[in-house]
A and B are shown apart, each in its own frame.
Chain A
Amino acid sequence: MEKHPVTKYIEESKNSGLTNVQIVQALADAGWRTHEILEILLNHNFPQESGPVAPSEAIISVSGVSKTYGKVKALDDVTLQVKRGSITALLGPNGAGKTTLVKILTTLLPPTSGTAEVAGFDVARDAQALRGSIGLAGQSASVDPILTGRENLEMVGRLYHLTKKEAKARAGELLKQFELEEAADRSAKTYSGGMRRRLDLAASLIIKPKMLFLDEPTSGLDPRSRFSMWNVIRELVADGTTLLLTTQYLEEADQLADYIFVIDRGQIIAQGTVDELKRQTGGDVLELHLAKHDDAMRAAEIVAPYGDAKPHADPGSGVVTMSTDKGAAILVEVVRRFDAEGLKLSDVLLRRPSLDDVFMKLTGHTAEENN
């Protein structure tokens, strides 16, 4: 069968890196009718957009990577690009495949199929050269608890093949930078959780890597340590390091990342900037707090016709949430209607969706929940 000319045009445009919006625009200019274009665009399986990264800008390039353990698919055909100089987050629940992907990119695990390149080196063919230009910290790597902070850093420096003198100097710099000077000559096992993470991070920065992987850099830290870790991470990128971090905390991705890949059950299910992802839930979220919690179910019924999706009622807290793109227009109407029905509201708000809402919508479960 001959391909529809529009199909052919779309395929070609996709290959040359045009976005859907640009394609629709160009076809409309050429005289095609919009609904016709959209129908083809939506009903065909065109290769997925890989995000706004030109090949020359990509420091990580993953293509069709899968990893299976027996019958379990830890990663299922993952394709993605990470832009040089960005903070990119892999966001997903425990067991989603985040750590597996980091392990593949840092050569700790071979992929079952597919290819991946980091900083111009293939993970399979140029593994040793790749290892010489990356840093890894977090739950996939560790510090030696018996050695002192200084000894840990000097050891890692020597294993990156710095000279003794260089390793010593660099260890001193990093201990200062990460506020570990006072504890430098104590065994790492005496360190607090936050100090250990900082030492771990310092170890991964010995060679000033082009590409740094942080596997759950703040899991298990108290809020204060987490906050100071975030500041440290932000400063790193200011120094020109590209950063890929995994997290199951939406707030962390929201705080740090320029670009987010949402990963669930081994697949990338969404990607974009924080704003783009938020936009995917459609419009705003209307949040109604009932004075009497028992009224939540009735309130949900009343408000349902005004929204785009089924409202979510939580009788425990008396909160009803619903996404809508009519926003302010319906707000007044809803409040009047509730008044007429005799339902008392303790609070009403119209807010932009949080990443929690996005994750919930994409996966049907919260990010902190296990599969």
Chain B
Amino acid sequence: MASHSSFTTFSDITVMVKRNLLHYKRLPQLIVFTFIQPVMFVLLFAYVFGGAIKNSSTDYIQFLLPGIIVQTVLFGSMMTGVALAQDVAGGMIDRFRSLPMDRSAVLAGRTISEAIRNIFVMVVMVGVGYIIGFRVDHGIINFALGLLLAMLFGFAFSWVSAAIGLAVKNVETAQSAGFVWVFPLAFASSIFVPTATLPKALKIFAEHNPISYTVNVVRALSLGTPVGNNIWYALAWIVGILIIFVPLAVNRYRKIT
């Protein structure tokens, strides 16, 4: 019974995903808040900055929405660490660790559930964007591929968040620890403004920021401009983050006290 095949690993992960998604179903407020924040960002940035940055807010929303989508999956990834810290504090992690389940299933189940949630969040954001003038003019397939990249990007950062959440083991700390790295990454990037407008030092940081590469790809696919090398840099970042943070997080999970 305790032997480990890829089948039991898959089954363990499925059970965990189901459990996490049930949480969203039982606690609709969790979903409402994950939707409200990105929708608010779309509206605020489109109308507050839109006029100042470009001539009309209609143009800016075309530029902004891909950025806000990537920002939302990034912010959402912080939930992974918070939820895991909550499971540690409540004793669920000890329960799972005492079971003959795969050592990576709790974490994979969590990060996959976050990715599934992100699909719903992105659909809602695109819907709100559509209402205020966002249009997909350059192929729905291209645009969907952009969203897929955003989802993979969020998945990779969920593992970073998982490693942090398991290290701090406290819900509040996990929350604030998330903001420390997420905010500079999000704002020193091409989410809100083209990196060309930034001062030199910041510009260098912003241009090599994994967020900028990802945003540039999603934006190019949406606006119909050339994707260029951005896609390779974005994928390299995603793979690199996974290579480092998956084993780190699983190791944390094994050794948690």
Contacts and interface: CB of A to CB of B under 8 A. Distances in A.
A367 interface: no
A131 interface: yes
B92 A131 contact: no
A108 B98 contact: yes
Nearest to A129: B2
Interface string B8-30: 10011001001100110011000
A151 interface: yes
B98 A136 contact: yes
A141 B22 contact: no
Contacts of B1: 132, 160-161
Given A141-B91, A141-B95, A142-B90, A131 B100 contact: yes
A184 to B, nearest CB: 15
B94 A140 contact: yes
A60 B236 CA distance: 50
A131 B95 CA distance: 11
B99 A131 contact: yes
Contacts of B98: 106-108, 131, 134, 136, 140-141
Contact of B95 (A109, A146, A151, A156): A156
Contacts of A134: 98
A159 interface: yes
Interface string B97-113: 11111000000000000
Nearest to B23: A146
B12 A128 contact: no
Nearest to B25: A146
A106 B11 CA distance: 23
Interface in A150-168: 151, 155-156, 158-161
Contacts of B8: 161
Contacts of A155: 15, 18-19
A108 B19 contact: no
Contacts of B23: 146
B49 interface: no
A315 interface: no
B6 interface: no
Given A146-B27, A187-B26, A131 B94 contact: no
A203 interface: yes
Contacts of B95: 136, 141-143, 156, 203
Q: Which of A131, A136, A160, A161 is the most central at the interface, judged by chain B CB atoms within 10 Å of its CB?
A: A161
Contacts of B101: 159, 161
A139 interface: yes
B75 to A, nearest CB: 23
A356 interface: no
Given A146-B23, A187-B26, A156 B92 contact: no
B91 A128 contact: no
Contacts of A147: 19, 22, 26
A142 B94 contact: yes
Given A139-B91, A161-B1, A187-B26, A108 B96 contact: no
B15 A159 contact: yes
B257 interface: yes
Given A128-B4, A132-B1, A142 B100 contact: no
Contacts of A11: none
B12 A159 contact: yes
B18 to A, nearest CB: 8
A95 interface: no
A114 interface: no
A161 B26 contact: no
A150 to B, nearest CB: 12
A158 B2 contact: no
A131 B105 CA distance: 15
A108 B2 contact: no
A160 B100 contact: yes
Contacts of B96: 159
A145 interface: yes
A146 to B, nearest CB: 5
B100 A146 contact: no
Contact of B94 (A141, A145, A187): A141
Given A108-B94, A159-B99, A160-B100, A132 B2 contact: yes
Contacts of A109: 257
A147 B98 CA distance: 19
A144 interface: yes
A156 B92 CA distance: 11
Interface of A: 103, 106-109, 128-129, 131-132, 134, 136, 139-147, 151, 155-156, 158-161, 187, 203
Interface of B: 1-2, 4, 8, 11-12, 15, 18-19, 22-23, 26-27, 90-92, 94-101, 257
Given A159-B100, A160-B100, A161-B1, 8 more contacts: A106-B98, A108-B97, A108-B98, A129-B100, A136-B94, A142-B94, A146-B26, A147-B19
7 contacts: A108-B94, A132-B1, A142-B95, A144-B92, A145-B90, A158-B15, A161-B100
By Cβ-Cβ distance, the 4 closest A-B pairs, closest first, are A142-B91, A132-B100, A132-B2, A141-B95
